[in-house]
Structure 1
Amino acid sequence: MSRQHTDIIQSILDTINQGLLDKPFEIRLALASFLAGGHLLIQDIPGVGKTTLALSMARTLGLDFARIQMTSDMLPGDVLGVSMFDPRTNEFCFHPGPIFHSIVLADEINRSSPRTQSALLEAMAEKQVSADGRTYPLPEAFLVIATQNPLEEHGVNPLPNSQMDRFMMSITLGYPGPGSEKDMLTKGATVPDFEAVVSQEELLSLRQSCKDVFLSDEIARMILELTHATRDHAEVKTGLSPRGMLALKSSAQAWAMLEQRDYIIPQDLFNTAYSVMIHRLSLDPGKDRDLLVRKIIHETWG
């Protein structure tokens, strides 16, 4: 990896850590998801910094940002955009929706209707929006960060497994440490007005370099072993899909890059596998998802 790339990565991490205190591991996971070209799901209670993380990333990376508060009465057009008739030209003109920003925070995605969820997730998968017979590309540097409250039970439409699989990683932020909460009380909890520390060209170069991080035969074997272990486990109804298997690879490549290496080591897999798997496995009701995922990883890799 070039010296320029390592300096840029360190600058990005240092800056985002100023916005979201006491969460260096979670910040690395979020940035790894972006570098690997995948989307991020945050499942956590309200008020722990989900919006702060998304906004800090956008400002640090120099990307435009939009927050969508998902509601039950929201229509697909509210996310994707709508065509409106222009009497001056006697034609319908497409007005892009918030999905056309580079970093989009879809807050409480499980509150929206299945129809709106599907429209959003289709745009995420295809990185384009189709309307009135035309296709509109989304930004090249594109990331959707979706949130949902796992404790919410009323007025929600849980994402089916096929749509959960569209997210590369799922994380939780949890409560800040005591020191960080004291800083919030004494200094406030606003997001610093960061300046971008990376140009668009450098950012796209980082994402391209992430694909070139070396994957050895040993690492490939470990990924295959874990993938098959999820499919063969007696307590798992549906294991990792091929997309999930590729997410194990891509996320480990991104983590290796954040560690300033151009090759994957087993620890990169250990650091990312849980976040790749936790939202993907289909389990019988009543099973402890967290415990089972950690058990499968431990039994497979020791």
Structure 2
Amino acid sequence: MRRGVGIAGLKQNQALQQKLKEQGSEIEKQQLEEMTKQIAEFKNHLETFAVKHKKEISGNPVFRNQFLKMCKEIGVDPLTSNKGFWVDVLGVGDFYYELAIQIVNICIALRKKNGGFLEESECLQLLKKIRSSKAQEVSLKDLRKAVDSLHKLGSDFKIINTGQKRVICSVSVELSQDNLIVLQAAETNKGWITFSKLKVIQPQFNQKDRFQRAIDKLIQEGLAWVDEEPLADKSSQVNVYSTREDDGKVYWFPSLLESSSRESAEELTLLDQV
């Protein structure tokens, strides 16, 4: 018959477990210290690299975004720094703060027209118009980083993917999947939609009450406008029409209209150049 380990055996086993635990903690501590040391060394090298390539980081959007990607991978975020090395030496933080303010000004200036939804490439073109010729060149990635920094600060600004385009949303609104489906359909249809047209583009979306709920939300948020006197037949030159099934209504989306960039530029003449 096998005898038990006894009290002495239990104590010995507990002591062994405790020793292994302590050794494991010590190894983990050493690994953490080594990793912290390596990251600190890498940050120092990164700062040296930044000083050496300051001109390229400031003037070349592609180079700047690759550099910021490296920073992000080791937990350095120049965009959230308002003092210290990154701003003092590179001015990276200041660049995005300035850009964010300009984006806010543009979106607010056009909010009554587009309901607070502005296509990002259109915003980029407007940024280039209001910025000084001596200002740093701006890319779409720069614009997205600036909007993201606004969102992190608790503002309503964010970028919504409507399908083929990305739209800057500057108002507090939550869009459902049905809202996005209607938006995407209008986007492929040159900025307008009807229920009958939506069924052609999205055959599975064939319930009129479902469409009406989605479009009513978009109208309520100022993203869509209703036209109750559209051209009545398919032979019209601009090819905008509604059927009897649509109750004679066409819905327009200002932020998706191709001509909005030219018109928007005229409305920004009061914005200061920087």
Tell me the TM-score range normalised by the shorter chain: under 0.3
Which of the pair is proportionally richer in strand?
A: 1
Larger Cα-atom Rg: 2
Instruction: Identify which of structures 1 and 2 has the higher relative contact order when contacts are C-alpha pairs closer than 8 Å and 6+ apart.
Output: 1
| TM-score (ref. length: structure 2) | 0.22
Which of the pair is proportionally richer in helix?
A: 2
| TM-score (ref. length: structure 1) | 0.21
